[in-house]
Homo-oligomer: A and B are copies of this chain.
Amino acid sequence: MSDLLRPPSAPGHAREAAILLGAVRARAPLTHCITNAVVTGFTANALLAIGAAPAMVDIVGEAGIFAGAASGLLVNLGTPTPEQRRASREAVAGAVAAGTPWVLDPVAIGTLPIRTELARELLDRRPASVRGNASEILALAGRSAGGRGVDATAAPEDAADAAVELARGSGAVVAVSGPVDLITDGERIVRVANGDPLLTRVTGGGCALGAVMAAFLGAAHADVDADAGADALGAVVAAHLAYAVAAERAASRASGPGSFAVSLLDALAELRPEDVESAARIELGEVAA
C-alpha cells in the first residue's frame, strides 16, 4: 500500500478498505471461529457472503491444530461451555505459535464470571483486535461491572478512554461498536459512522462483524508477508467499513429485522470495493498524550 500515507487519511482508510475487500475475495481467507451457539450459522453465512472460508472448529484436540493453519481466528465468548473454554485456550495457543492474527469478542463480560475470567486470561495472549460494545470494553478495561448482558447501555464515546488504555496495555486494536464505531490502536482513533440501527435488531449482528474482522486481518497479514499489507488498525477499520456499508444497503431494501438479515447476506456478497470506498464515512482523531 505504498501509495498511502502512514497514518492514512480518512480517504486513505476508505481506499485501503476497498483494496482489502478485494484481497478477501481473492484469497478466501480460512477464518477459524469459536463462537457462541446463537450465531454460528449467521456468522458462517456472513463470512461466505463476503468471500471468506469459514470453519467453526471448537473441539479440544482439533482447535489448536486448526488455528495454526487458518488465516485468522475469532474467539467469541457468548456461550462458553467447558469444551469451548478449553478449545479457545488451545486455539489461541495455536494461533500465537503460528502467528495467526486473532480477534477476541468478550460478549457480556462484567457480571458473568466464567467468561469475564476467561476474557482477562486470553487478553494476555496478544489478540490482534478486541471487539465489543461499550459496556464490554469498559468491563475488560476494569472500569465497570458491565451492563446487563449483551445489551449495551453505555455509548462508544463513554468507553473511549478505556479503549485507548486497553489498546495500549494489550497491543490490540480495540473496536467499540455503537451508532458510530470507535476503533483505536492506542495512538490513533478512527470513527466509522456507517451502519444501520437494524444491526442491533438481529442476533449476531455484532458477532458476525468479529468474524469478518478475523477474515480481513487474515487477508491483510498475508499481504503484509508480501510487503503490501495493511496494518491491524487498517484491517479492522476495513472490516467495519465493508460490513457497515453492506448493512446500509441491506437496510434500504428491508421491511424489518427478518428481511434485513437476509438482505445483509445478499449485500455482503454483492458489495464492490468501489462501493465501500465511495460510501465510507470516517473521522480520524489523535489520542491526547
Give A residues with C-beta under 8 Å from B: 28, 30, 36-42, 44-45, 48-49, 53-62, 65-66, 69, 78-83, 108, 111-115, 148-151, 200-204, 254-259, 261-267, 269-270
Contact = CB atoms under 8 A, between A and B. Distances in A.
Nearest to A116: B62
Given A49-B256, A81-B59, A201-B49, A65 B266 contact: no
Given A62-B112, A262-B259, A201 B41 contact: no
Given A201-B49, A203-B41, A55 B151 contact: yes
A45 B149 CA distance: 16
A265 B270 contact: no
Contacts of A203: 41, 44-45, 48, 54
B114 A62 contact: yes
Q: How many copies does the complex hold?
A: 3
Nearest to A71: B148
B61 A114 contact: yes
A40 B37 CA distance: 7
A60 B113 CA distance: 10
Instruction: Give the one of A78, A150, A203, A266 with max B CB within 10 A.
Output: A203
B264 A149 contact: no
Contacts of A78: 56
Nearest to A258: B265
B59 A114 contact: yes
18 contacts: A30-B149, A37-B40, A37-B56, A38-B41, A41-B42, A48-B201, A54-B150, A55-B151, A57-B79, A57-B149, A61-B114, A62-B112, A65-B112, A255-B266, A256-B270, A257-B266, A258-B262, A258-B269
Given A30-B148, A62-B112, A65-B112, 11 more contacts: A41-B42, A41-B203, A45-B257, A48-B203, A57-B112, A59-B79, A62-B115, A66-B111, A81-B83, A255-B270, A256-B265
